[in-house]
Amino acid sequence: MSAVVTEKPQLREGAFGHATALSCRECGHQIDLGPFYACPECFGPLEIAYDFPQVTREEIEAGPRNIWRYKALLPVPSDIELSPNTEPGFTRLLDAGNLARELGLAKLWVKDDSTNPTNSFKDRVVACALSAARELGAKVFACPSTGNLANAVAAAGARAGIKTVVFIPSNLEQPKQVNSAIFTEQLVAVDGNYDDVNKLAQEIAGEEDGWAFVNVNVRPYYAEGSKTLGYEIAEQLGWRLPDQVVIPVASGSQLTKVHKAFQELIKLGLVEGKPYRIFGAQATGCSPVSVAYKAGVDAIRPVKPDTIAKSLAIGNPADGIYVLDICRETGGAVEDVTDDEVRDAIVLLARTEGVFTETAGGTTVAVLKKLVESGQLDPSAETVVINTGHGLKTLDAVSGRVGPAATIAPSYAAFAETGLAEA
């Protein structure tokens, strides 16, 4: 098991806020907070355990208009907003009346994370990872990524003034390459797929001292950032939980953390407890969790991804089994859709709500549609769908589908001939 630093770091008082320990998700074994991510007893994934203080809605509402309003519930120091970071979060929760009508839903909201600093939800998790890297004394901030994470890490690292090295597959789309390289001189293209890049990152984390790979050796801290999506949904609904949430599944971490956030809010008395159903969305070309859900089994069989939804293309999802548990326990489901359904849904969301989502968001909206049509989702219940990223990053997915209705000479006569005035 690699470490950010070889020696146990000297942690300052309150370095991780109200976090008390790292707790194994599998066996429950607890260890001290530090640069660890796997249980020393059973190698299960470690998660942050807390002893939360009394937190009030008013305290949160008086906080900054970004994720640090929830700092008391995150593994970050109480002065976190003073450290340079991209200030992500508190994105729009849009009343999606048009899309609701189109799909036959009584009430639908879009939680739109495409307006985050680097245009995806990854800015949330990276902000928490950056804080951990700082507190653990890391010298290098790094990640393996298929795109969105690379953008977020490179931007946050630049602003924090820490050496930042980002690893991507060498065949990554040009927009996502530029959107990382613009922030860091140390973008490394790796000949291989994401799994190869990820393995290399683990190798480097084991060999080099002081490297904080956000999604590898500081993953427990990183993953907690996704809880803020759940907190925001509840606060923006007026401190209540929705009835149903549809969430994309890549590693599955985000879905588990939204559930964790809802549970924490209930326990803290910040929202009223109530049943809610959580649904997972995958692309058929990479749907190991959906396949297991439909087969009624607990084991997830890894797949080789083949889908345009590249930011969801994790063939062996680390949190897949927890996604299954949560979707089953809450009465939700996991569903998958074809690439054509993904493309259609990107256009559908744009034409109804003015939100341009990337393929991951297209997957989630397409799954929402399919869940309604198959009767798995209750159309009369209040529903939230999460849009995790921006369409400008995956232009190729739709550039063949949309375009000018006409190309004309610059004259009124030419325009009149198009018939668009009457259309």
| 365 within 8 A of 343, measured Cβ to Cβ | no
- The DSSP secondary-structure symbol of 312 reads G
Q: Which two three-digit tokens encode residue 335?
A: 């569903």
- Which residues lie closer than 8 Å to 265 by C-beta, 6 or more apart? 230, 231, 234, 241, 271
Question: Of the candidates 57, 67, 60, 120, which has an alpha carbon nearest to the alpha carbon of residue 229?
Answer: 67
Report if residue 104 touches a copy of itself, rule: CB under 8 A.
no
CA angle 247, 85, 217 (to 5 degrees): 65
Instruction: Report the site for a copy of itself in 168-187 (rule: CB under 8 A).
Output: 168, 170, 174-175, 177-179, 181-187
Among 7, 10, 296, 421, binds a copy of itself (CB under 8 A): 421
- Of 374, 278, 413, which is closest to residue 332 (Cα–Cα)? 278
Contact between 391 and a copy of itself by CB under 8 A: the answer reads yes
Nearer to a copy of itself, 27 or 178 (CB): 178
Least separation, in Å, of the C-beta of 298 and a copy of itself?
32
Beta strands 383-387 and 244-248, pairing class? parallel
Nearer to a copy of itself, 169 or 220 (CB): 169
- Measured between alpha carbons, how far is 187 from 180 in angstroms, rounded to an integer? 7
Q: How far apart are CA 219 and CA 222, in angstroms?
A: 5
As measured in angstroms, the least distance from the Cβ of 160 to a copy of itself is 8
Minimum distance from CB of 75 to a copy of itself (Å)? 22
For residue 250, the minimal CB distance to a copy of itself (Å) is 20
Q: Within 151-170, which residues bind a copy of itself (CB under 8 A)? A: 154-159, 161, 163, 165, 168, 170
Q: Which CB, 90 or 293, lies closer to a copy of itself? A: 90
Q: Binder to a copy of itself among 25, 137, 208, 291 (CB under 8 A)?
A: 208
Nearer to a copy of itself, 371 or 398 (CB): 398
**Minimum gap (Å) between residue 328 Cβ and a copy of itself:** 35
Question: Closest CB to a copy of itself among 172 and 278?
Answer: 172
- Give, as ranges, the residues between 49 and 88 that touch a copy of itself (CB under 8 A): 65-66, 84, 86-87
For residue 360, the surrounding DSSP H or E stretch is: helix 359-373
Query: Of residues 20, 98, 330, 338, which one binds a copy of itself by CB under 8 A?
Result: 98
Q: Considering beta carbons, is residue 53 or 84 the nearer one to a copy of itself?
A: 84
* CB 317 within 8 Å of CB 249: yes
Instruction: Dihedral sign for Cα 133, 135, 136, 138, please.
Output: positive
Say which residue the tokens 């692309």 belong to. Answer: 283
Which span sits near a copy of itself by CB under 8 A: 113-121, 254-262, 300-308, 315-323? 113-121
Our finding on whether 190 is near a copy of itself (CB under 8 A) is yes
238 in contact with a copy of itself (CB under 8 A): no
Per-residue CA distances from 186 to 91, 95, 195, 330, 373 (Å):
30, 41, 20, 43, 47
Taking CB under 8 A as the rule, does residue 410 contact a copy of itself? Answer: yes
Closer CB to a copy of itself, 42 or 416, in the complex: 416
How many residues bind a copy of itself (CB under 8 A)? The answer is: 85
Measured in whole angstroms, the distance separating CA 192 from the mean position of its chain's CA atoms is 24
Helix segments in 147-210, DSSP class H: 148-160, 174-181, 194-207
DSSP 357: B
Q: Which residue from 188, 291, 303, 381 is in contact with a copy of itself, where contact means CB under 8 A?
A: 188
The residue (of 93 and 371) whose beta carbon lies closer to a copy of itself is 93
The identity of residue 319, as a single letter, is D
Q: List binders of a copy of itself among 344-373 (CB under 8 A).
A: 346-347, 350-356
- Residue 351 tokens, joined: 């034409």
